[in-house]
Amino acid sequence: MTADRTDPVVRTPHGAVRGRYERGAAVFRGIPYAAPPFGPRRFRPPEPPEPWDGVRDAGAYGPTAPKPPYSDAFACYLSDPVVPGDDCLNLNVWTPEPGPAARLPVLVWLHGGALTRGSSAVPVYDGHAFARDGVVLVSVNYRLGVEGYGLFPDAPANPGLHDQLAALRWVHESIAAFGGDPDRITLAGQSAGAISIGALIAAPQAQGLVRRAVLQSGPPEVSERDKVRRMVRRMAARLKIPATAEAFAAVDPELLLKTQAEVGRLSSPVLGGPAFGIVVDGDVVPRDPLSALIDGEAARGVELLMGWTRDEYRLWLVPGGLLDHVDRLGPVALAGAMARCRCSHEVPRGYRALHPDAGTAETVGQMVTDHLLRVPLHRLADARPGAAYVYEFAWPSNLPDLGACHALELGFVFDTGDAPESRKLAGEGGPHELCEEMHGAWVRFAAEGDPGWEAWDASHPVRVFGDGESHTAYGPRDAELALWATEADAEAPPVDGTFAARGTELASAVRRLRRTVGARLH
């Protein structure tokens, strides 16, 4: 490609867009796949964008969905740029060369951020490396927080998930003009993005749209409807309005975001609490996605790449000094983890026996990670022998105490480890060869369905990245995960005798712990 090439122009179903040639790739940013979700469209499923005449410029990232900023404790590790504007249902495309003749594999990226933060404009998600290696990369913005996942009596549930489905349909219909093959679409995401993918590949409306899926640090799951309602009701109480979509739509957007952040500070991936999430809605999510994928016919032909980081929990416990605080709480923190996981005292006792040198925070963190993430992904892999591949990311950050924490693998997957935004989490001097290995595995999976190691079977092969030379371990988490097998058969998990006579006091202690987390992180 030469520097004097004219800008690439591609026609979409709604009008033509002009991108840019950058570093050997044609890049199109901010393409609308749906109309702005405001005014009469607020809290409603997405509608198609208005067609436009002429050629629309696609040289800059489009508006990001409304979201509160990260707290100072997290902002030093995670970047979350804001692009103002209402036209926030947009996507970006990186392609080696536009045109229907190429028929290249496609990877569609859904960002994480607990369904309340994040966007496709995060520099870590730059798609140049995928385009360089022959994969068309599409990254998507979707509604977040109360706008995308609030549960109201006068509006449909899961509008943010409907956004993602609309984007996926757009890709299936439009990507050939950008050089992609609509029959080779891989849907990939991390954290909340991976949770969304679990719901999407199980959705009746998405069958046939996806060939492969990548779930990074997020299992197929749904939230309890009452848990989401509590978020909405607490926001309504602070705002002194009814808990309806009509009332929320009348609130100043900045005040709404501020209130959402204040209410959400009492929730935590490790300690639980009210939070926004995908719910069963009788439509896109007719039942629990994990159950649908394990015992139903949903996505039977979809190949899976799934995994986690070794120390997921450290991103949530290191900021604000919570790691040491949880260690000091000792038995109360362990009891809080038991309440979070609804398990008996046998589980923490088993973890202590397997890891006698681990502190309380490590035991709590690994318990919660296994219960919420590794157990369901193991179950899903067991249901898809020969069609699932599992990995663990084990390289520890060069920053103090983070270890191989949640989201650390992203710079390696996208081969953007040199970006300042990746170094905020990884520190300086991340290994380039690990970038090559992980990014190459994702490219191979998108192109061929085989990332380069053996598929899941009874031996439980897990590809371990970053713990010395990359290698395959067999059943590395089986001993810990076996502790949960007996819990699944228990009718009502008992509480450790140490706390049996202190139920009210324990519940109060867990609430105090959540408030402490909120105060330290916000």
Q: Which of 119, 191, 217, 344 is catalytic?
A: 191
Residue 267 bears catalytic tag: no
Which residue has 């980081």 as its token pair?
A: 309
Query: Contact, 51 vs 12, CB < 8 A?
Result: no
Q: How many CB atoms lie within 10 A of CB 476?
A: 17
Helix (H) or strand (E) holding 148: helix 145-149
Query: Contact, 148 vs 193, CB < 8 A?
Result: no
Distance separating alpha carbons of residues 141 and 119, to the nearest angstrom: 6
Q: Which of 312, 362, 421, 480 is catalytic?
A: 312
Beta-bridge partners for 17: 10, 56
* Residue ranges with strand state E in 227-347: 303-309
Q: Which of 111, 162, 406, 439 is catalytic?
A: 406
Query: Contact, 20 vs 98, CB < 8 A?
Result: no
Distance separating alpha carbons of residues 318 and 74, to the nearest angstrom: 10
Residue 97 bears catalytic tag: no
Residue 344 bears catalytic tag: no
Closest C-alpha among 93, 72, 90 to residue 28: 93
Closest C-alpha among 187, 196, 122, 149 to residue 410: 122
Alpha-carbon distances, residue 360 vs 331, 340, 464, 498 (angstroms):
8, 15, 25, 16
Cα-Cα-Cα-Cα dihedral sign, residues 184, 167, 115, 289: negative
Q: How many CB atoms lie within 10 A of CB 342?
A: 11
Closest C-alpha among 233, 88, 227, 63 to residue 167: 88
Distance separating alpha carbons of residues 183 and 227, to the nearest angstrom: 38
Distance separating alpha carbons of residues 25 and 130, to the nearest angstrom: 10
Q: Hey, which residues are catalytic here?
A: 191, 312, 406
